[in-house]
Structure 1
């Protein structure tokens, strides 16, 4: 239902959650686009989803609908999101429990090419290229820098 409510081909759904409240569930739809997403696009998605819910379940259903873009602290989950962040620093948590931090250089069909920052006590950080398959990534976040 959320995918069908997108007003533009460049937009995509990042996440949909529904709270477990039986009285008045909250539906949260996170959408994004290759160039970001505007408030007007979020409003259009919201109106379309509300219309589909009313058509399917009637006007009597009580719920709260929130449509927005994922915040900067929301993990990256889709290749399209990674592509938008090429050139930025990422922090990755991998399946084996390790973490890697580095600059995202390229997104391929199978994973990421990262210039990993290697820190050693008492020495200047060094950088080395590393390839990370999507299947090994548990969580990926953009590192916000205030430099």
Structure 2
């Protein structure tokens, strides 16, 4: 498995201005062929705080990005004569959040955040800025819900949690109309929520 800087720069330039940005390129040997796996995400054009959920990439977005990447690779000789399979995908929810832009793209999602030299906390991202984010941490038993602002520099690891049911998180459980023993409600978008970040489209190209 290799990360080819030349291929990365080529694809990054080809996608510039398309509304889609390159996250990663990995080239892996696969018998007589190679697999060129390209991970893309929606361009983040917000310069201030993000407080609303940003739309995930659609299948049409991925298809358009695949055509752009394929054309760029076909017009270059960076991959040489060996055949390759091109895979263009968006990041899945299993990817850890490691940069500010990752958090900013995941406003509205439930995350588990492990702090440096501290225990982990679970909450929903309601704001993501350039240097820090705000979580709404739900009430648990006798502990009231609260808002907590965390600096990115204080975070050791953060992971998005897949939700099959959810309610809007508030600081006071009484505002939800439920009690501490009833913390879930049917979510019409639950299935879409688990799949929205993992959209794949593969195409074979002969160099």
Q: Same fold (TM over 0.5)?
A: yes
TM-score w.r.t. the length of structure 2 is 0.56
Q: Secondary structure of the residue that 2:92 maps to in structure 1?
A: coil
Task: Pick one of 121, 130, 136 that aligns with 1:109.
Answer: 130
Q: Secondary structure of the residue that 2:134 maps to in structure 1?
A: strand
1:1-147 matched pairs, under 5 angstroms: 1-6=10-15, 9-19=18-28, 23-33=32-42, 34-54=54-74, 55-57=76-78, 60-96=81-117, 98-117=119-138, 119=140, 123-147=141-165
In structure 1, runs of 5+ residues without a counterpart are none
Flag the structure with more relative contact order, 1 or 2, with Cα contacts below 8 A and sequence separation at least 6. Answer: 2
Q: Shift of the alpha carbon at 1:51?
A: 2.9
- Supply the distance in 1 between the matched residues of 2:67 and 2:108 (Cα, whole angstroms): 35
Q: Is the 8 A contact 1:7 1:41 kept in 2?
A: no
The number of equivalent residue pairs is 144
Q: Which has the higher strand share?
A: 1
In structure 2, runs of 5+ residues without a counterpart are 1-9, 43-53, 166-207
TM-score w.r.t. the length of structure 1 is 0.74
Larger radius of gyration: 2
- Supply the distance in 1 between the matched residues of 2:156 and 2:85 (Cα, whole angstroms): 30
Q: Shift of the alpha carbon at 1:40?
A: 2.7
Q: Shift of the alpha carbon at 1:117?
A: 4.5
RMSD over aligned Cα atoms: 2.9
Q: Secondary structure of the residue that 2:64 maps to in structure 1?
A: helix
Q: Is the 8 A contact 2:36 2:86 kept in 1?
A: yes
Query: After the TM superposition, which segments of 4 or more aligned residues of structure 1 sit over 4 Å from their partners?
Result: 20-23
- Supply the distance in 2 between the matched residues of 1:58 and 1:75 (Cα, whole angstroms): 30
Q: Shift of the alpha carbon at 1:20?
A: 5.7
Q: Shift of the alpha carbon at 1:140?
A: 2.3
Change (3 A) 1:59 1:10: same
